[in-house]
Chains A and B, each alone.
Chain A
């Protein structure tokens, strides 16, 4: 077995620095450990083998002393500690190494709870994963009311909080509250809680304000040591654990349908915590960590995390930022729902005037009214102040003519999906704006190059494809037409960044990335139903992937009419791979919102439109057909140069379609199931090494 320190050779080592502190009121000397990796808060402290060794050495020195009244642990400014070094975790090559990572963490952390003097964690800043587990091993905890993030995000990535978290937390705060942190939050877009919530949940024994957090924490510790403050703990083992565990299992099943092992292992470990001894519980955590560290689901999770953390921030192929032009005013052509949502987003994030135009005063009033109404809602929820609400409302206005765009730097159209209409709109806009004004289109399927073809300055046209709902979905597909210049593109990326979206550069190709893949995918499933496969069988054939929704649920969300329109567009472009379902067309003609009733049971009338096929497939056949189609389509897209790499496809599917981390978006899953031939990514990139 390789020494695990060699695997983590790039570890940014978090040092455990010990300094003696004289506690107030003669409470004695505390050895105060500061966890610090030597960087500022933008690079939070993490733990790999060298960091754990540093902590172990600090504890060795502390244990050798007899003059101490207590031991404390705190972090560098703004950060307590944020858990395991993930870069190293992705390089672990065999199960023995994986097991040793779990064991080493336990060996070191548990000493904090087994010293001869009381231990205190002073949680001064972000505490996640292993960072929070260090605090849990201590006898007492204080937390700053300014802490922005407390979380056990392991299940989000495909791990379990296995350095004591699953055993210590349920005992401390009870199974229901613990499962919320260990399972529910990670599976809800990796939600984090704040210091105040953590205190309310019982994770910390005392809370102090950030201005003198450490001083007050030390004063409190002195009071505990002198017996002036008594911390009472509830014995949660007598409570009903079965119900919260069953509730959590229901939630995991609903979200994942068994697709990723981590949350299930976490559930088992929490269940064990009620009765297991520390040794048994920690050993079970070691085994779970070893299994999960050696799982493809985790490797795909780490890959996905890296995509959204790094690649999304440095989009592949984006031109030099310095080329971006300043945007001081935005025009939005159209005043429909999409246009209004965009206007609100531009006003909130860019904080520049935004003018909506429409030919119809009533529609215009409705659009501007929608934006102002949304701002009032934000004010009502306390998300913006009264002054900010006034400012934002003042920024968003309507105009019947496009003259109002004269001094705009960025005009985006969100009119009807029709090439002639859009060309006409851009031609009109070009009459009033400057030659440098960026003309952006929110088209989801039309050719950008064609849209720009008749303009005087086609180089300033760019695609800016949002996902619905605009305010929520993090992905922005930025489309470069054949003649789009770098300055225009750079401006589009800069605007995307300011809008807090993750942008991916896409070549001008039918339906771009997300819609093309989803349409192909749904087309295969609908095709199978058209051929006679029972709708329910086909709709559940891909449950094992743990997608956020089944194909027909997605159809319902998108709307059958829109889905049909995109399918037709794609059929025109690639008739041999994209079909148009006549059954779907009849469903649309009947005005049905989908195949489900509002209570999400199947609507027999809607299902009836899909009857009549004579060559049914099994669920397995549907699954293989859909996955092979995905692999084929993605391969063609990469060959066509729609995006730079498989990573961009995966990033789009994660951020634009909510496809899960444990699939790595999609290409890692297609690789590891052997569907992709040849592989999209080499072994080890998003899977276990060869």
Chain B
């Protein structure tokens, strides 16, 4: 058994993201069916991967009950028709669930326990609203382990504005407008569609349809329009529905493999895993999480922030991206940041988003052979950040 092997990202796909709620795209679609679609599409898109060679299916979900329960990695693998010999499990790190699924199977691959794994995540926030079934220990508050605002993500975003007084609501809104514009352009340029899995959706009232595009983007969003939105988390606050990600439904998945196995099978990997790190911060300012996790991942990789040519940073809130940029001295409109736009427009079905970042980075890498390194990073509830650094296998410098 090799003690360490290179780990590569072979391919990633996702369902279109829907808006949660009774009128949403997936109002009457099960969460596990979304995962099934993702797994089957990954297998179909990679015919050189014999399904029985998948050694693990790791699927993240924040709320692991109902159609997101029953050890969803295993149950979705069975439902997807993978051989029964393929095991699976469920994993949770809230927003960084899918990211953690990837890093965890990557660790297993590097150790030699697996050759190939499927990792992904799902969150149907319509069927499973945030906080469903949670039972916080009273000691959190009685012993002041965390601030009362820590469990309400919008409040943590307001707290982050307090910590970074330079980040105004206007800056946050401007970032949000840009995110919407970038998503609209990426769609117009056909950058998003190739990695979407169409999903047959049905409601009793409307019959069968087909989800082929994200439901959440609001092209044409303007500063003026955003200025009128309420600040639900604080009177005269800064965080609005317009400069934050929404409440969404969706699933993602990717194939992660040992570089040697990918070569053996004739797979076409797009990125090499360079390093990853997770870090904890004060839960009431969870949005700063990506800063220490990225610093740690860079240190592990022996790289500096200037080596990074592309960033896919999850836009849970505009302020949280801006805090990251402020810390590293990067301009708000730096072209390396989320070139296809981000979660403010696409939506953020919690545990699924990590692999969306990776899938988009992989596609950006393909178009940018001049870029060698990229970062995927995101903040996590309860005060964490996660970062994965990738090397572009299409990098021209290697040829």
Report which A residues bind B (CB closer than 8 A). Answer: 17-22, 24, 32-34, 36, 38, 74, 76-77, 209, 211-212, 214-215, 218-219
What string of 1s and 0s marks CB contacts (under 8 Å) between B183-210 and chain A?
0000000000000011110101111111
Q: CB within 8 A of A211: which of B36, B197, B207, B209?
A: B36
State the Cβ distance, B114 to closest chain A Cβ, in Å: 24
Q: Which residues of A contact B206 (CB under 8 A)?
A: 17, 19
CA distance A108 to B198 in the complex (A): 31
Q: Which residues of B contact A34 (CB under 8 A)?
A: 202, 207-208
CA distance A34 to B203 in the complex (A): 10
CA distance A211 to B32 in the complex (A): 11
Q: Which residues of B contact A19 (CB under 8 A)?
A: 206-209
Q: List 9 interface pairs A-B (beta carbons < 8 Å), by A numbering.
A: A17-B207, A21-B210, A32-B210, A36-B204, A211-B36, A212-B40, A214-B200, A214-B210, A215-B197
State the Cβ distance, B266 to closest chain A Cβ, in Å: 24
* A74 B208 Cβ-Cβ under 8 A: yes
With an 8 Å Cβ cutoff, the count of chain B residues facing the other chain is 20
* Residue B81 at the chain A interface, CB threshold 8 Å: yes
Q: Which residues of B contact A18 (CB under 8 A)?
A: 207
What string of 1s and 0s marks CB contacts (under 8 Å) between B60-88 and chain A?
00000000000000000001110000000
CA distance A18 to B36 in the complex (A): 26
State the Cβ distance, B45 to closest chain A Cβ, in Å: 12
Q: Which residues of B contact A32 (CB under 8 A)?
A: 207-210
Q: Which residues of B contact A33 (CB under 8 A)?
A: 207
CA distance A219 to B40 in the complex (A): 14
* A215 B200 Cβ-Cβ under 8 A: yes
What string of 1s and 0s marks CB contacts (under 8 Å) between B205-243 and chain A?
111111011000000000000000000000000000000
State the Cβ distance, B37 to closest chain A Cβ, in Å: 6
Add 13 more A-B contacts to A20-B209, A219-B198 (CB < 8 A). Answer: A17-B207, A18-B207, A21-B209, A22-B210, A24-B212, A32-B209, A211-B81, A212-B37, A212-B40, A215-B199, A215-B210, A218-B200, A218-B210
Check A214/B208 contact, CB under 8 A, given A24-B198, A34-B202, A77-B202: yes
CA distance A21 to B210 in the complex (A): 6
Q: Which residue of A lies closest to B36 (CB)?
A: A211
CA distance A214 to B202 in the complex (A): 11
CA distance A218 to B212 in the complex (A): 12
Check A215/B198 contact, CB under 8 A, given A19-B207, A19-B209: yes
CA distance A201 to B52 in the complex (A): 31
CA distance A32 to B197 in the complex (A): 19
Cβ-closest 4 pairs across A and B:
A34-B207, A17-B207, A214-B200, A21-B210
Q: Which residues of A contact B208 (CB under 8 A)?
A: 19, 21, 32, 34, 74, 214
A212, A214, A218, A219 pick with most chain B CB within 10 angstroms: A212
Q: Which residue of B lies closest to A30 (CB)?
A: B210
Q: Which residue of A lies closest to B199 (CB)?
A: A215
CA distance A151 to B37 in the complex (A): 30
State the Cβ distance, B367 to closest chain A Cβ, in Å: 21
State the Cβ distance, B166 to closest chain A Cβ, in Å: 44
Q: Which residues of A contact B37 (CB under 8 A)?
A: 212, 215
Q: Which residue of A lies closest to B193 (CB)?
A: A24
| Contact residues, B154-190 vs A (CB, 8 A) | none
Q: Which residues of B contact A24 (CB under 8 A)?
A: 198, 212
State the Cβ distance, A461 to closest chain B Cβ, in Å: 47
Q: Which residue of B lies closest to A122 (CB)?
A: B208
Q: Which residues of A contact B199 (CB under 8 A)?
A: 215
